[in-house]
Amino acid sequence: MSEPANTAPADPRPAAGPNWQPRIIGFLCYWCSYTGADMAGTARMKYPPNVDIIRVMCSGRIDPELVTTAFARGADGVLVCGCHIGDCHYITGNHKTMARMPLLKRILLDMGIEPERFRHEWVSAAEGEKFSKLVAELTEQVRRLGPLDWPGLMRARGVGHGMDLKAWGE
Amino acid sequence: MSTNPNNAAPVAKLKIAKYWAASCGGCDISLLEIGPNLLELIKIADVVFWPCAADFKYEDVRNYPDGYIDLCFYNGGIRNSEQEEVARLLRRKSKSLIAYGQCAVDGGIPALANLKTVKGIFNASYHDNPSIDNPAGVEPQPVTPSEYGDLEIPRFYPQVLRLKDVVPVDYEIPGCPPQSDRVWEAILALAGGQVPLQNRNVKVACYDKAVCDECKLEKRNVRIKEFKRVHTSIPEPGWCLLEQGYLCVGPATRSGCGALCPAAGMPCEGCYGPAGDVVDQGTAMVSAIASMLDARTEEQAQELIDQIADPTGTFYRFTLASSHLKARK
Amino acid sequence: MTADRHPHRPQSPPAEAIRIGVFICHCGGNISDVVDVRRVAEEVGRLPDVVLSTTHMFMCSDPGQMLIEEKIRELGLNRVIVAACSPTLHQLTFRRTLGRAGLNQYLFEHVNIREQVSWVVEDKAAATLKATRLVRAAVGRIRHLQPLAKRRIMIHPSALVIGGGVAGLVATRDLAKRGMRVTLVENTPFLGGRMAQLYTLFPSNEDAKELLGKLIAEVVHHPLVTVHTSAQVMSSSGIVGDFRTKLRISPRGVDKRLTQVGIAMAACPEETISEYNFGLTRRKAIYMPYPGCWPQMPAIDWRSCTKCGKCQAVVGGKGIDLAQEPKEIEIHSGVIVLATGYDPYEPMFGEYGSGIFPEVITLQQLIRILDPEGPTAGQFVVNGRPVRSMAFIHCAGARQYEGINMPQPSGKVNDYCARTCCTAALHQANEIKERFPGIEIYDIYQDIRTYGRGHENYYERASERGVIFIRFDPMRLPKVRHDPRGEKPVVIMVQDMLTNRMDVEVPVDVVVLATGVMPHDISELVDMYKCAVGYDSFLLEVHPKLRPVELAVSGVFLAGSCQGPMDITECSAAAAAAASKAAALIAQGQVEMDPFIARVNEDLCSGCQTCLTVCPYEAITRDPRKGVAVINEALCTGCGTCAATCPSNAIQQFGFTDTQVMAEVEMLLADMMPEPLPTGGSHE
Amino acid sequence: MTTPHVHTKEGYRRISIDPITRLEGHGKIDIFLDAEGAVADCYFQVPELRGFEKFCEGRPVEDLPRITPRICGVCPEAHHMASAKACDAVYGVELPPTARMLRELQYNIFFVTDHTTHFYALGAPDFVMGPDSDPATRNIIGVIGKVGVEIGGQVIQCRAWGHEAAAIFGGKRVNPVNAIPGGMSKPISQAERERLEEIARWMVDFGKFTLKLFHDLVLANPAYLDLIVNGPYIHRTYSMGLVDENNKVNFYEGQVRVVDPDGVEFCRYAPHEYMDHIAERVEPWSYLKFPYLKGVGWKGLVDGKESGVYRATPQSRLNAADGMSTPVAQEAYEEYFETLTGDRSGRTPVHHTLAIHWARVVEMVNAAERALELIRNPEITHPENYRTLCLGTPREGVGIVEAPRGTLTHHYVTDDNGIVKKVNLIVGTTNNNAAICMSVKKAAQSLIRRGGEVKEGILNMIEMAFRAYDPCYGCATHSLPGQMPLIVRIRRPDGEVIREIRRDRPTA
C-alpha cells in the first residue's frame, strides 16, 4: 500500500531472449492467398516458420474480432491475406476486408499496438514469392519490436487475479 | 414470467444490499424507476447495506456471517483498491452477487480511461490543467503521514476492471442505466429463484437481440455514402440513422432499452453492451459498419473511414473493459 | 473456452464423447525429412480427447486410407485429423475415406504440413514445432465440428448457350450430341461470331468460313437444338438445375419467302458502315455480312432502317415485313454456358498514328483486306494505293504498362498478353510474302510469343522470307509520323534493341497494328449471373487448374475467349470441356453442393439487415413477418462474409463457425496463455 | 476503507466514520483524539477519481454532452447542459430562442426534482427524528412515519413526473441525450407541451407545500432554530452563484457573481473568464481538489475575508444574488434573510451552514415557477427553432450552469475537426471541498468534548455538517433520492394509504 497511487506496475513483458521467436497468426482466404502460400511451398521457397496459418473460404469471413482475439491471446503479430481487389472468387467478399482492416488498424493504434504488428495484403494464387517475402518481412518487423505478451500485461494489471477464490479470505 | 410477486416471493424475507463503485448513480435511479413495484420489493426484502441510503458502515458488513446477504447489487467498475476490497467482502457475504449496470458488467464509460495512462489521468487532474495551482507538484498518495497518524486513500489502479475481473459474478444486468421494467422482471425472477443460482454471468433484465429489433426507424438497404455528425446536419426523420451516415451502434448493441435514443433523433451509443453472445462490441461494429461502406476501391474505403472521428471511443464507449484487448498497452 | 461465446446462456452439453484420431503423413520423406512426425504425433497424443495419434508413410495410399478406416471402426473415432499435404490435393480423398468408414465426412480436418511447413521451413526443430502447433489447432477446432450433409438440387435436363461464335457452336453441338436439349442464343442476326471474319486459319491454313459452315450445319440441323438470333438476355433468375432466363428477340424483318435478295438489298437507300469489314466498307440497312452466312437470308438493321418500304416494294412485299414487333420468351434450363467471346482492341486516337493516318490499320482490317472475298477482292490496296512496304507493330492494346500506355476508360491498362496476335500477324506476314512477293515487311515487336504447336514455324519462315524484325523497348514505344521525305505516307521511329538501341526510321505504305483482344462487354450478364471477373476483366474461373471452365456460381460454365485470349483451337477445346462438364452435371440428375453455407439464428437476429447489403449473391432477404434475415441456401456459395459481418453473431457459417475458428486461434496460442482470463465466461 | 493496523501516533486514538452515509459519493472522516479525548485533528477525505478530464480527450466534442452525464447519474442534466453550452461556445453558435427556452425549461424541472429528493431524504431525517435519535429510524422512513405518508406520495410523484418530463425531452429518463451543440435534438409537440405545463403547475404547488412543511418542522421548533443559528455550523466565507442581468438567481445561464463575507460584490465574470478568478489546490490525502478565489489567494483551510475559500451552495446563490426572479420565491427569499440576518433585502449574507436546507427549498419554488413561465411561452413548440447547425471551425469554449450543489464549469479545447484536446471540469461539490473539510472539523472539535464519551449521535451530528451541502463527491454517485420511496414503503404499516400512493403515480 506504500507505493504512490499513480505508479503503474513495471512493464511485465519478458525481454526478448536469444531464443525468442515472434508468434504470428495468419488468416488467409482459400482460393487465392492460401493457394499462393501452397505455391511458395511447391516452389520450395524458404521463409520463417513464425506465421501460423488459419484458412477461411474468403477473406470476407475474417471478422476483425479474430485479429483482436489473436493479439489478446498472445500473438505478437497478425497477418490477413485475401485475393486482389476485383479478383475475388466471391466477387466482392474482399471488398469488406478492404474496408474492415484499415478501420481495425485505427483501433489497434488506439490500443497501443504498433502498426508494424498488423499487416493486410492481397496475395493471389500465383504470388507464392510475394507471400514468402511478405512473411519474412513481417517476421523481421515483429522481431524488431519484441514480444507483445498481452495476457501477461493484463494479468499484471490485475485482470482475473481476484479469481483466486482463496483470496477472498482477506 | 409472472409479475405477481406472490408467486415469486419466498416465505423468508430476502436480505438485499446495494453498493456503488466506479459509477455515477444512474443505476440507483433506474432501480427507483420500478416505482410502485418497489412496494412489492419491500414486501419480500430488507436492506442490510446501502451506504447512500442507510447508516450501515463497513464494520457492520464485516460482522455479518458469510452468505448472509441473499442478493447483492454491485454497480460500478473497479477503479481502485477500495472497490476491489469491498467487492471481495460483499462476494463473501452474499449468496448471489449481481453486477448491476454497464460499469460493473463491461466497465462502462469510466473504462474509456483504459485508453489513457494513469500518469496522463493524474496530469490532467492535478498538474497540466488550466485552473490548477500546484506549485509543489503534489499528487494524492495512498498513504500520507500526518502529525497524528497516517491518512489513507485507496490505491488508483492502472486500468478499470469489471466486477467479474476480480470476483466471480452470478448475474449481470447491463445498461446505462438498466431500464426499470426489465430490472423489475429480473428481480422477481431472482427472488423467486426462477433463474438458476450461482450460474456465472447470466445476463438478465435484457434481451438477446440487438437494438434494431426494437427500433422503429425504416431500413432502406442503402450503403453508407458519407459519415455525418449530429451537430452539423439534421437527420431525415423516420429513416435508419446508420444508413444516413450517423454512427449508430444499435446493430451491435443488446436491446432492452426500447431504442429510446434513435426515437429522440440521436444515434444509439451502445449503452447495453454487445448483443447476443458477442464478446467484443467494438470489433462487431467495425465489421458491420465497414461492410456497409459504399466503396469500390481501397482509396474510397480509406476516405470514408477517415470520416469516422473516433472509432475506438464510439464503438467501445461502454465496453472497453470487456473487449478482447481491454486496455491500451 | 467455448463458454466465452455464450456468456449469458447455459451451455448445451456435448451430444457424445469426442474421440479424435490424428494421422500424420511422412509423405515418403517429403514431410518426415524435415518434420519429426513421430515427435508431433507424441505431442498431440497428449491433448485431451485425442484417442489415437499415429503416423504413416503415405496417408493417401490405399494402405494409408485403410488404416484410417480400421481405426475409426476399431477405436470408435468420431473425429479424424490428417496432417499431410495441402487440402487442395487430398481433402476430398480423406473425406471419402471417412464416408467409407461410416463416419460423416465433414467430421474431418486436414492439416497442411507439407506445402506450408516441410517445404518452406529449413530448421527441423522449428518445422516440428510449427507442425505441432498446426495439428494442435486442428484438435481445438475439430471438437466443435458438427456432422454436415451435402445439399442436393434436381437438374432440368437442358442447357442454355449464350453466344453464337465458334465456342458457343462447339459447346452446343457437343451438348446436343450427348442428348441434351440446348438453346443457343446469339445477339446479332447471324451465327459465326469473330471466326466468320477470318479467312485462313493457322496453323493448318484451312478456310475459316468453310470450317465454320460445317460446324454451323451440325448445330442448326440437330433436332435437340433451338437457335435464337437477334436475341438478348434480359434477365435471369433461379439457381443451378433450375435457371429461368428471359430473352428479347428482335424481329428479323425478313423470312425465307424472300427470294430476290440482291434486288431487295440494292433497293435500300440507307447505308451504314459494315461491322463485318471493320468499317472498311459500307452496307445497306437490309444486309447480309457475307455470302455464306447463316441464316441464309438478310436481316434488317432497325437502327439504320427508316421503314421507307422500298425493299418491300421491289419484291412485291414477299418475305419482308417491316411491322414486326420484338417478342419476349423465357428459357428454362438446368445449366448455362457463357460463350460471349471477345472484341478486337480498338486503338485510341493517335495511338501509333491511328485515326490520324489512314495508312494505319489493324490486324483484323488487314485480314479482311487480304480475304479474296473481302472489300478489295484480295488486292493488297490501302487507302487507294497499292502496298509496297508495310510494318507490323505488336502488342497494340496488350502487355501495356501504366504510365506508358493510355489506360482504358476503366483506368486500367491491358497488361496481359493477348496471345493470338503474334502468330496471327506472322501468319499474315507469310501469306503476304507468298501472295505478294517483293513487299517489304518490317515486324516491330517487344517479344514474339508463338507458343502453340506449329506456331513457331510462322516465325521461322517469316525470317527466312526476309521479314525484318525490330525489337522495341516497351518503355519507349515506337512513334508513327508523317514521312518528312515524302517517299512514303508514314515513317515509324523506333529504337532497335537488337542493334543495341540504335534509333531507326522505317518509312512504309501501311502500318498494321497487331491489336490484342478484350472481353466483349457483357456487364449485364456479369451482374445477372454474379460472375467473378479477373483483374484483366475477363471472366474468372473457380480455379485455373482444378476447375478451369466453371464459374463460382454453380451451374454456369465458361466457353472460349470470354475467359481470356484464345485462338480457335483453344476456344474449341475450352468449349468442349465446358460442354462435357455441363453434360456431366445434367447427367447426375441432381447437384451436390458443399454444406459450408451460412444460416441465421432467428433468436439472435435483430433484423438490422446489414447482411442484406453485403451478400455478393443477393442470397439474403428479410422475412417481413418475423423481421429476421433469411438465407436462400441454394444461392449461398459459402463465402462467410455475412457471418463475419453480423454484429449479433446471429449468422454462422457451417464449417467456419465463430466457435470453430476462435478455437483454432486459441489452440495455436495455447502455450502463450496457460489459463484463460475472464472474458465474460465461466471461471471454473 | 481504512486498513485495520494503520499507523496512529503513540498516545492518540483514531475514530473513522467509514463510509460516511446518506450522501452521494464516497467519503470518509478520520478523527484523531488525544489522551484526554479532545480532538487533535480531523480529516475529511474523498477516495474517488475516475479521470473524465483525461479520457474525454480524443472524443468528438459533440459526444461530450452524452459522455459527461455519466459523471453523475442523478444530476446528469447539470453536466448535460453545462457540456452542451461549452460545445455551443466551442463552435461559437448563438442558440435560436426556442432552443434556449427548451434547455432552460428542462433544466428547471430537473432542479425541482433534485432539490425535492435531497430535502426530504437527506435533510429532513436529522431534524424530524432528531440528530441523536436511533440510527435505524434516523432516515426518511422515520420521517414519513412521523409526518404521514401523503408526503411520501407527493415526493414520489415529484420524482416520477420529473423523470417523465426528462423522457419527453430526450427519450431516456436517466442520462439525457437531447441537448446537442446548437440546441436540442428534437422539438416538442403541442401535446407534450400541455403535459409539461401540467407537471410544472403541479410542481409550483408542491414547492409552496414544501416551504410550509419546512416552517412547521424546523422553524417552529426552537431547539432546531437554535442549532441552526447558534450551532457549530457557521462559516464566514465568500459566496458564489450565477445571476441574470438583474442580479436575480438563475440556474441555467448568466454571469458568475461572488460576494465577500459581508455581502459586498467581490467579482462578477462571464463563463470564459473563470480561469482569471478560480484556481485549484491539491492535497496528497484526498483525490478531490480544493478550489479558491485567485483574487484573495489560498491561505489553507481557514474561513474569513482573508481566505480564498468560498462556497457555492443554494445558500451562496441566494447570498450572491439580489433576489429571486419569481414572486413566490422572492417572498420566501425575503423571509429567509429576515429570519437569519434581520435584513429582508438579502444584502447581508447568511453563513449558517444548516440553513442551506432552507435556501434549497426557496430555490425549489423558484425553479418550478420559472419552468411554468417558460412552458407557457407560445414559442416553445416552434418546429424549426429548436436547433441551429454548427458549421464554424471549433476552437475552445466554456459552459457554466448552477448544478444543485454548486456552480458547474465545463471547459473544452478542440482541434479543427472538433476532436477534444483538453478538458477542465470544476464540479459543484468541488467548490465546497475546503468549506466542508472545515465544517466537519469545526463540528468535531466543538461536539467531542474533553473526557466525554463519543456517542454515535455525536458522530452523526458531525456528518450533518457535510450533509447540509448535499455533497456529490467527485460528482460521483448521487443516489440517495433513489432509495427514499423504497424505504418509505418498507416501513409503511397501512396498506390503504399505499394504494393511494400508487394511484398518485402516473403510468409512464
Residue B198: what pLDDT? 59
User: What per-residue string of b and e applies to D214-223 under the rule 16 or more CB within 10 Å gives b?
Assistant: beebbeeeee
Distance CA D232, CA D238 (A): 18
Q: Which of D21, D55, D76 sits opposite B55 (nearest CB)?
A: D21
Which phi and psi angles does A107 have, rounded to 5°?
A: -70, -45
Same domain, D136 and D65: no
Name chain C contacts of B279, Cβ cutoff 8 Å.
4-5, 7, 679-680
**CATH code at C12-150:** 3.40.50.960
Neighbours of chain D (3+ CB pairs under 8 A): B
Residue D236: what pLDDT? 92
Q: Does position B54 have pLDDT exceeding 80, yes or no?
A: no
Each residue's pLDDT tens digit, B258-277: 999 999 999 999 999 999 99
**DSSP states of D301-348:** S--STTS--EE-SHHHHHHHSSB-SSHHHHHHHHHHHHHHHS-TT--S
D153 is in which domain, residue-wise?
94-231+478-508
Same domain, D211 and D223: yes
Amino acid at B218: E
Residue A2 located in a structural domain? no
Among residues C165, C191, C188, C178, the alpha carbon closest in space to that of C222 is found at C178
Chain B residues contacting C via beta carbons under 8 Å: 162, 164-165, 168, 172, 196, 199-203, 208-213, 219, 221-223, 250-252, 255, 275-279, 284-285, 287-288, 291-292, 322, 324
Same domain, D98 and D220: yes
Name chain C contacts of A154, Cβ cutoff 8 Å.
677
Residue A16 located in a structural domain? no
Residue A8: what pLDDT? 39
Q: Does position D145 have pLDDT exceeding 70, yes or no?
A: no
User: What per-residue string of b and e applies to C589-605 under the rule 16 or more CB within 10 Å gives b?
Assistant: eebebbbbbbbbbeebb
Q: Which of B199, B210, B223 sits opposite C647 (nearest CB)?
A: B210
User: Sign of dihedral through CA atoms D149, D150, D156, D159?
Assistant: negative
Cell of D204: 409550483
- pTM equals 0.81
**DSSP states of C219-244:** HHT-TTEEEESSEEEEEEEEETTEEE
Q: Does position D495 have pLDDT exceeding 80, yes or no?
A: no
D305: left (phi over 0), alpha (psi -120 to 50) or beta: alpha
Distance CA D402, CA D316 (A): 11
Q: Do A45 and C120 touch (CB under 8 A)?
A: yes
Q: Do C512 and C392 meet the contact criterion of CB atoms below 8 Å apart?
A: yes
Which stretch of B121-125, C464-468, D426-430 has the lowest confidence by average pLDDT? D426-430
Residue C345: what pLDDT? 95
Residue A14 located in a structural domain? no
Residue C679: what pLDDT? 42
Amino acid at B143: V
Q: Do B209 and C609 touch (CB under 8 A)?
A: no
Beta strand C468-471 with C479-482: parallel, antiparallel or unpaired? unpaired
Residue with more model confidence, C361 or D490: C361
Confidence of residue D492 (pLDDT cuts 50, 70, 90): very low
Nearest-neighbour CA in chain A from B43: distance (Å): 32
3-class SS of residue C652: strand
Same domain, D118 and D194: yes
Q: Which of A95, A100, A150 sits opposite B325 (nearest CB)?
A: A150
Q: Do D281 and B125 touch (CB under 8 A)?
A: no
Residue D458: what pLDDT? 78
Q: Does position D490 have pLDDT exceeding 60, yes or no?
A: no
Which DSSP helix (H) or strand (E) runs through B144? strand B143-146
Q: Do B51 and D21 touch (CB under 8 A)?
A: yes
Confidence of residue D137 (pLDDT cuts 50, 70, 90): low
Nearest-neighbour CA in chain B from D280: distance (Å): 5
Helix axes of C87-100 and C62-75: crossing angle, nearest 10 degrees? 50
A124 is in which domain, residue-wise?
24-160
Nearest-neighbour CA in chain B from C142: distance (Å): 21
Cα end-to-end span (Å), chain C: 11
**CATH code at C158-249+328-341+521-590:** 3.50.50.60
Q: Do D478 and D75 meet the contact criterion of CB atoms below 8 Å apart?
A: yes
Q: Do B29 and D171 touch (CB under 8 A)?
A: no
Q: Which of B203, B252, B322 sits opposite C8 (nearest CB)?
A: B203
- Average pLDDT, stretch A96-113? 97
Q: Which of B293, B295, B325 sits opposite A111 (nearest CB)?
A: B325
Distance CA C55, CA A6 (A): 56
Same domain, D424 and D487: no
Each residue's pLDDT tens digit, B11-26: 578 898 989 888 888 8
Domains of chain B: 5-109+162-203 (3.40.50.700), 117-157 (no CATH), 211-322 (no CATH)
Q: Which of C607, C645, C680 sits opposite B212 (nearest CB)?
A: C607
Q: Do C683 and A66 touch (CB under 8 A)?
A: no
| Test mutation, A2, A65, A92, chain B, max B CBs within 10 A | A65
Q: Do B32 and D159 touch (CB under 8 A)?
A: yes
Confidence of residue D480 (pLDDT cuts 50, 70, 90): very low
CB pairs under 8 A between A and B: 159
Burial of C618 (0-12, 13-18, 19+ CB in 10 A): exposed
The answer to whether C130 faces chain A, any CB pair under 8 Å, is yes
Nearest-neighbour CA in chain C from A151: distance (Å): 6
The answer to whether A109 faces chain C, any CB pair under 8 Å, is no
Residue A165 located in a structural domain? no
Name chain A contacts of B66, Cβ cutoff 8 Å.
none
Domain C598-653 adopts which CATH fold? Alpha-Beta Plaits (3.30.70)
Distance CA D296, CA D277 (A): 9
Q: Which of residues 613-672 of C touch A (CB under 8 A)?
A: 614, 616-617, 637-641, 643-645, 653, 656, 658, 661-662, 664-666, 668-669, 672
For chain C, residues with pLDDT lower than 70 are 1-15, 673-684
Q: Do B277 and C604 touch (CB under 8 A)?
A: yes
Residue A46: what pLDDT? 95
Residue D212 located in a structural domain? yes
Confidence of residue D221 (pLDDT cuts 50, 70, 90): confident
Q: Do B80 and D48 touch (CB under 8 A)?
A: yes
C214: left (phi over 0), alpha (psi -120 to 50) or beta: alpha
Same domain, D100 and D151: yes
Cell of A169: 479470505
CB pairs under 8 A between B and D: 334
Beta strand C490-496 with C479-482: parallel, antiparallel or unpaired? antiparallel
Residue of chain A whose Cα is closest to the Cα of C130 = A49
Nearest-neighbour CA in chain B from D336: distance (Å): 29
Each residue's pLDDT tens digit, A78-91: 999 999 998 888 88
Name chain D contacts of B27, Cβ cutoff 8 Å.
73, 479
Each residue's pLDDT tens digit, B237-254: 999 999 999 999 999 999
CA of D93: how far to CAs of D66, D83, D391, D410, in Å?
A: 19, 14, 9, 17
Distance CA D159, CA D506 (A): 11
Which stretch of C39-43, D352-356, D394-398, D417-421 has the lowest confidence by average pLDDT? D352-356
**DSSP states of C46-82:** TSTTEEEEEEES-TTSHHHHHHHHHHHHHHT--EEEE
Q: Do C606 and B211 touch (CB under 8 A)?
A: yes
| Cβ count near C467 (within 10 Å) | 22
Q: Which of residues 269-328 of B touch A (CB under 8 A)?
A: 279-280, 282-284, 286-287, 289-291, 293, 295-298, 301-302, 304-305, 308, 311-312, 315-316, 323-328
Amino acid at D97: P
Residue of chain A whose Cα is closest to the Cα of B121 = A6
Same domain, D153 and D118: yes
Query: Would you tell me which CATH number, out of the four given (3.50.50.60, 2.130.10.10, 3.10.20.30, 3.40.50.261), belongs to the domain C345-518?
Result: 3.50.50.60
Each residue's pLDDT tens digit, B158-208: 999 999 999 989 999 999 999 888 888 888 888 877 776 556 778 888 999
Residue C552: what pLDDT? 78
Same domain, D65 and D122: no
Distance CA B22, CA B111 (A): 9
Same domain, D88 and D113: no
- Average pLDDT, stretch D267-277? 96
Q: Do C5 and B279 touch (CB under 8 A)?
A: yes
- Average pLDDT, stretch B66-91? 93
Distance CA D450, CA B146 (A): 22
Residue C663: what pLDDT? 94
Same domain, D176 and D113: yes
Nearest-neighbour CA in chain B from C478: distance (Å): 33
Distance CA A122, CA C45 (A): 37
Which DSSP helix (H) or strand (E) runs through C504? strand C502-508
The answer to whether B91 faces chain A, any CB pair under 8 Å, is yes
What are the start-end ranges of the E strands in D10-110?
Answer: 13-17, 28-33, 39-45
CA of C276: how far to CAs of C287, C293, C367, C618, D117, in Å?
A: 11, 11, 11, 39, 92
Structural domains in chain A (count): 1
Among residues C108, C292, C262, the alpha carbon closest in space to that of C197 is found at C292
Name chain B contacts of C644, Cβ cutoff 8 Å.
287, 291
Residue D77 located in a structural domain? no
CATH number of the domain enclosing A44: 3.40.50
Each residue's pLDDT tens digit, D29-66: 888 888 888 888 888 887 778 889 999 999 999 999 99
Nearest-neighbour CA in chain B from C621: distance (Å): 11
Q: Which of residues 107-126 of A touch B (CB under 8 A)?
A: 107, 110-113
Residues near D100 by beta carbon (within 8 Å), at least 6 away in sequence: none
Q: Do B328 and A112 touch (CB under 8 A)?
A: yes
CA of B94: how far to CAs of B83, B198, B243, in Å?
A: 16, 11, 46
Cell of D323: 433576489
